[in-house]
Structure 1
C-alpha cells in the first residue's frame, strides 16, 4: 500500500492524518473515526489498513482536534481530548469527509471505534448515502452513557454529581477551559468538556432507527455489554445489522487484531 501523511484544514487547528491507498484499483474509500483520546496511529487506525488496502480499499485515518488527552503542536498552547466538545468532533468528521470527497470518494464506508462509533452513527444518519457502517465497540451514547458506570466504572466513577457541580461553578466563573481531575478514564477534563460530554453525546441506539445501510457491529467478549450494546443496536437498526462478539477480546482488540481485520474484510466482500 501507499502511505501519505495528510493535513485537513478546519476553521481553527488543522487535522493531521494518513491516507493509505492500495497498489491496484480502488473499490471505495474507508473513513475511520478514532476512539476517545486516541489518534490516527493507534488501535484500528493502525492495524486495519494493511488488510483492507489489499482488498482494494483506500483508508483515511486522522486526528480529531480532540485527539489524545492533552497535547501541544506548534506552540505551548494545550489541546486535545480534555477540551473536546461533541459539536467539534462531529464537525471534524465533516471536514474529513469533504477532504475525501475532493479525492473522488463522496460516499465512503464509515468505521468508528468506541466514541468514534457513537459519532459514526450520527454521521451516517446525516449521510444516508453511506454504503456500509462498521461499529467497533461503539458506546451506547445518550444520557446513560456516563451516568451509569457499568462494570468498567469509567469516566467519573462515583464522583459524577460533585464533578458536575464543580464544572458548572467554573463555567459560571468564566473559566470553561480550567481542568479538573477525574477518578476514572480519561483522568483530566475541562469544565466545559465535562458538561458537554454528559449532555450532548450522540444516542447510538436512538440513531439506529435512521440507519438503513448494512452494519457490522463488533464487541469483544471481555467488554461491558451495557456500555457497548451491539445487540441492542442491531434490534433498533432500520437496515440489516450483523453482530460479532470476538472471543478473548478487550476494548482495544489486543492480540485479536488479525481476527478483527479479517472479519471486517470478509464482511465487506459480502456486501
Structure 2
C-alpha cells in the first residue's frame, strides 16, 4: 500500500477506526487523499439515524475538491437507529451498554465523537480541519463549541437546533407526555435506563435515559454553543425545508464575527439534485478560510 506525504493510505476509499476518548471505536470512510497531502482536512458527520455511507456524508466529499482536500466521513456512535457491538475487543462494550444508535443516543456523546474525528485528522495530516455536519450532526457541532484554533471552520448543513422537536408528534397532550416521563424516571431509577419506550413516529422508540435528556434540554442550548466558539461558520439549508424560516431567524441571533448563511433554492433536507450547488458553497467557504 502506498501513502501520501501525510502518511495516509492511498489507492481507494479506506475504512478506518477512530478511537473516542472513552474507548469506543468509531468507524469511518477515508477518501483517497491528494498525493501532495492536500490543503485542508474535512470531517463529515451525519444526522440522527444516518451514517457515513448515505446522505451528504457520502454524496458531498467527491464533489468537494478531492484533489485539494482530505475527506473523512465518520460514523458517530448514534449512527443508524439501533445496532449492537458484542465481544471483548478494544472499544466493544458488553451488557446494557452494547446497544447504540439513534434510539439510545446520549447528548454528551456527539461532541466527544466529533472531537475524536478532528483529533484523528489533525494528528495524521497536520492540516487545518473543517467540520461539515448535517442535521443532528450540526446540533452536536454547535454543542461542542470548539475553542480558538481547534478547527478552521464549521459548516452546518440544515442543523438540528433542538432535540425536543419530536415531542409534539409523539404525545397528544401534556398528560401523555407526563406519563411517559414518569415511566422513564422509573426505569432509570431501577438501573434500566437503556430500555426503550415506544413512540408512534420518527424514530419509533427511544431509551428512557435519552428521553429524559431531551426533556431536560436547556433553552437555546444549540445557539449558545454556536456563539461560544469563535471559529468561522457557514450555515446552509434547503429552501424547500419546512424549517427554512426558523434557520433564518436563528442565524440572525448568531454573534460569531465570521458567519455566512446560504439558502439553496428548492433543495430538501438531503439536497437531492442540489449536491453540486451545496458543494460549491462549502468549497468556497473552506477556500476562504485557509
TM over 0.5: yes
> Could you tell me which residue of structure 1 aligns to residue 287 of structure 2?
269
Structure 2: gaps (5+ residues):
1-9, 88-93
**Once the two structures are superposed, what CA deviation does each residue of 1:159-215 show, in whole Å capped at 9, x if it has no partner?**
543332321122123211111111221111111111123334882212232233322
Q: CA RMSD in A?
A: 2.6
How far did residue 12 of structure 1 move?
Answer: 4.1
* Alignment gaps of 5+ in structure 1: none
Q: Which residue of 2 aligns with 1:43?
A: 55
Confirm or deny that 1:128 pairs with 2:148.
yes
Moved segments of 4+, more than 6 Å: none
SS at match of 1:32: strand
1:201-212 matches, cutoff 5 A: 203-212=221-230
- CA offsets 1:205-233 (integer angstroms, 9 cap, x no match): 12232233322111112223379524423
Secondary structure of the residue aligned to 2:84 is coil
Query: Rg bigger for which structure?
Result: 2
- Length, aligned pairs only: 263
Alignment of 1:85 with 2:106, yes or no, is yes
Normalising by the residue count of structure 1, what TM-score does the alignment of the two structures yield? 0.85
| 2:3 counterpart residue number | none
The structure-2 alpha-carbon separation of the partners of 1:95 and 1:211, relative to structure 1 and needing over 3 Å to count, comes to closer
Task: Give the direction of change, closer, same or farther, for the CA distance of 1:240–1:157 in structure 2 (3 Å limit).
Answer: farther
2:266 paired with 1:255: no
Q: How does 1:149-160 map to 2 (within 5 A)?
A: 156-158=170-172, 160=177
Calculate the TM-score normalised by the size of structure 2.
0.80
Contact kept, 8 Å, 1:211 with 1:239, in 2: the verdict is: no
Q: Output the CA distance in 2 between the equivalents of 1:169 and 1:232.
A: 36
Please name the residue that 2:189 is paired with: 172
